[in-house]
Chain A
Amino acid sequence: MSVSTNTAPQATGARQVSWYEASARTRVSQLLDESSFKEFLGPQEREMSPNLKSFDLPEQFDDGMIVGRGLIKRMPVFVAAQEGRFMGGAFGEVHGAKLTGLLRASRDIGSIPVLILFDTGGVRLQEANAGELAIAEIMRAVIEARIAGVSVIGLIGGRAGCYGGGGLIAGCCSALAVSEQGRISVSGPEVIETNRGVEEFDSKDRALVWRTMGGKHRRLIGGTDAFVDDTIEDFRETALSLLADTRPFTLQTLHEEQARLEWRIQQFGTSADAIDIWRSMGVDDAAAIPEMTYAQFTAAAQKIRRPNHAAR
């Protein structure tokens, strides 16, 4: 009867905690060296959204954004984490301002990198103008920090994915790490279906959603620098290796990034489905990609002709 018990998930140690399952605070505390996290504008300050009350919506003391500093393998870092379970991690006025402030601090100091733990559906509709402004400010702040020589690393693997303005900010980062569960895109599945029809994109077909926006696809087409297993431990190890790889950010970088993206749309722009893209990239059994385990997938991904990841 115990046919596959040995392959079944076992009881997990603290470091084996699922990133996808964890709260933003658990992610931060276990990503960093033990007890090293110092929060800025923590929940006890009650810096809450000024706008939600008028919609009769519940507020949260940290407005769903945790910012602070800490150590990762004794290296100082700034950390920002979105709580996807509060309003889908959406950007509002205070939520956005906390991240902007953190990024500006890193720019001014110039030597402490930033980790952004994305978990967001995009801008909060109830404070849309403030949210959209926040996205613009954050994108500018990411670029300014990078010009000042600071690495800004995005870690993506939460339930809300990384959508809307979050997808735009992720596109500005020095490097990204994503897990299979993580999704990166600008327009979400429901938005596409609403605007373009169910024939264009069936948001309820979750296999389609994941193979179009999910971590494996982003890894294969070079939309992310690293593919990680869904544990806080693996995110930590990967963040460390991405932090070690610091490249200067110059006009040349942007030219190369532009060229990389143009190449990508030329190569794959006419493909109707992600599986076609994988096949044309030389993946042997493209249709089997979604079912592969982490180990099987990383092995398969290593084998294929790797699109130019160097730019960003």
Chain B
Amino acid sequence: MQWHKNRDARDQRIEAGRKLSAGKIVDAQDATRLLEAVICKGDRVCLEGDNQKQADLLSSALLAVNTEFISDLHMVQSGVVLPEHLDLFERGVATKLDYAYSGPQSARIAQMLFGGKIQLGAVHTYLELFARYFIDLTPNVALIAAVSADREGNLYTGPNTEDTPTVVEATAFKDGVVIAQVNEIVANVPRVDIPGDRVHFVVKADKPFFVEPLFTRDPAAITETQILTAMLAIKGIYAPYGVKRLNHGIGFNTAAIELLLPTFGEALGLKGRIASHFALNPHPALIPAIESGWVEQIHSFGSEVGMDDYIRARSDVYFTGPDGSLRSNRAFSQVAGLYACDMFIGSTLQIDLAGNSSTVTTTRIAGFGGAPNMGSDARGRRHPSEPWLQAGKEADPAGLPALRRGRKLVVQIGETFGEKNVPLFVEKLDAIALAEKLNLDLAPVMIYGDDVTHIVTEEGIANLLLCRDPDEREQAIRGVAGYTDVGRGRDKSMVNQLRDRGVIQRPEDLGIDPLQADRNLLAARSIKDIVRWSGGLYAPPSKFRNW
């Protein structure tokens, strides 16, 4: 019996690659030849495509390989973000895909799935895909991206560490080969994010890896309806449950919440009582709340373009390394969001009558990313907290307190009619039609209805914890669905009863006059205001400027 075939094979691959390297360093122009030497037909390859950071040089290099030698790769990567990621399948370099998120490529990936160009394993959440890296989707080769490397291969990822430690852990310790592209080779890296003995080759890229500013929401685009939903959420959910530990989605409704904390939240006397600990990317919109002393601590999945200097100067709030810059880690932050946060609040594209929600439309498959991890009840959670216990009590008032599970607050927030006047509420999710069309066992549901505890629209808050049967749940949802077809299909008397019981709360029930929802309530009404709040430390990317 041979017990180290994989290690021997790994050593052979490295040996083949060494012909092209000086030490661990490989010229950018030899990148494709390196990949041809190291990768074998049918390999599982993680081409680091994170939510933000992209190993773009290695993507192009992989796309250029000779398909006589390398084909039928099985790509296992969290983000399908660059056009090259899908070109690999057009060219036949890769055939099989397991992934988590495909934001900018969501339309093309749908087309290619319909056209049979991609064999889909599954669409995952981040944590799920990371977990499978250690069980049944372990990469043979990982192609990763970092800011700098030294000659030993020690890597500095900069603020966008993101998925890298997880990918390297799974690959390097299970006989895989790790190849890093770096922006520069230096004598000493500012900090070691990945120890050099886990990195086999380093390619210096001609230009810095691509990072997309995904988490910047321009306050100028926040509408008064969104402000109203934010006021309802703060006064109707954050305050009564006393939510301190939470995660926010990336939409404009939650950006409005962030910008109302120092104004509306302050006026309600909530500072110190809510929204102090976050699992959150460094959202620029949170700067006014941080500067006003609301926020104690933030752990981040990734970073955000333009936030580096601000983060560096606010190390009491963010996680930073010995070099002073942010250390993010997607896997740890996802775990933090799942187990250590009492609330997730985010927007979605479609909600059905049971509260299931989805961002899939019939032409786009955006994937899940991390929302389902944030927006689900962690059944393995055992530590109590006030909001968690309170939510558990509302769901099961008769249960024995010592044996009653708490519940995470999972809040969906949005306007009854979203972008382009498309209704948020539907009888049947587009995701179901898609699953039928693609013959999937599971429809891609972002957040299952049984995890959702509250739905907030400009019409009010529906507290689904207080619903006792599916009928009540449906009417509670219809009751906040406004003038959409779903809303107009409500049973008026039942909705009135639900309102009497506090299952549905209208703005006036919470003492909120919709006319108060004014843009003057926002602590910052423009990106420039945010720059001012940051004392000039926030440097917004050019696409967000109007000066």
Contacts and interface: CB of A to CB of B under 8 A. Distances in A.
A9 B524 contact: yes
Contacts of A20: 526
A8 B533 contact: yes
B540 to A, nearest CB: 9
Given A11-B520, A214-B547, A206 B532 contact: no
Interface string B271-294: 000000000000000001011110
A5 B547 contact: no
A208 B291 CA distance: 30
Interface string B258-279: 0000010000000000000000
Give chain A's interface residue range (CB within 8 Å of chain B).
20 to 34
B339 to A, nearest CB: 28
A2 B519 contact: no
Contact of B525 (A9, A210, A214): A9
A260 B401 CA distance: 83
B363 to A, nearest CB: 22
Interface in A144-196: 159, 180-181
A45 interface: no
A4 B291 contact: yes
Interface in A1-25: 1-5, 7-9, 11-12, 18, 20-21
Contacts of A181: 546-547
A204 interface: yes
A153 B545 CA distance: 28
B396 interface: no
Contacts of A18: 525
B328 interface: no
A4 B292 CA distance: 9
A208 B542 contact: yes
B543 interface: yes
Given A18-B525, A21-B519, A210-B547, A7 B542 contact: no
A210 B542 CA distance: 10
A4 B545 contact: no
Give chain B's interface residue range (CB within 8 Å of chain A).
20 to 34
A267 B50 CA distance: 49
Nearest to B288: A8
Given A8-B291, A11-B520, A206 B545 contact: yes
B412 to A, nearest CB: 28
Chain B CB within 10 Å, residue with most, of A8, A12, A180 = A8
A207 B292 contact: no
A290 interface: yes
Contacts of A7: 532-533, 535
B523 interface: yes
A205 interface: yes
A3 B288 CA distance: 11
A204 B543 contact: yes
Contacts of A21: 220, 519, 525
Interface in B528-547: 529, 532-536, 542-547
A48 to B, nearest CB: 20
Contacts of B520: 11-12
B532 A207 contact: no
Contacts of B533: 4, 7-9
A7 B536 CA distance: 11
Interface in B287-316: 288, 290-293
B291 A207 contact: no
Nearest to A182: B546
A5 B546 contact: no
B317 to A, nearest CB: 9
Contacts of A8: 288, 291, 523-524, 529, 532-533
A204 B544 CA distance: 9
Interface string B500-538: 000000000000000000011001111001001111100
Interface of A: 1-5, 7-9, 11-12, 18, 20-21, 159, 180-181, 204-208, 210, 214, 216, 290-291
13 contacts: A1-B290, A1-B292, A2-B292, A2-B293, A4-B532, A4-B535, A8-B523, A9-B532, A9-B533, A21-B525, A207-B545, A210-B546, A216-B547
Interface of B: 220, 263, 288, 290-293, 519-520, 523-526, 529, 532-536, 542-547
Given A4-B534, A5-B292, A290-B545, 14 more contacts: A4-B533, A8-B288, A8-B529, A8-B533, A9-B523, A11-B520, A12-B520, A20-B526, A21-B519, A159-B220, A181-B547, A206-B545, A208-B542, A210-B547
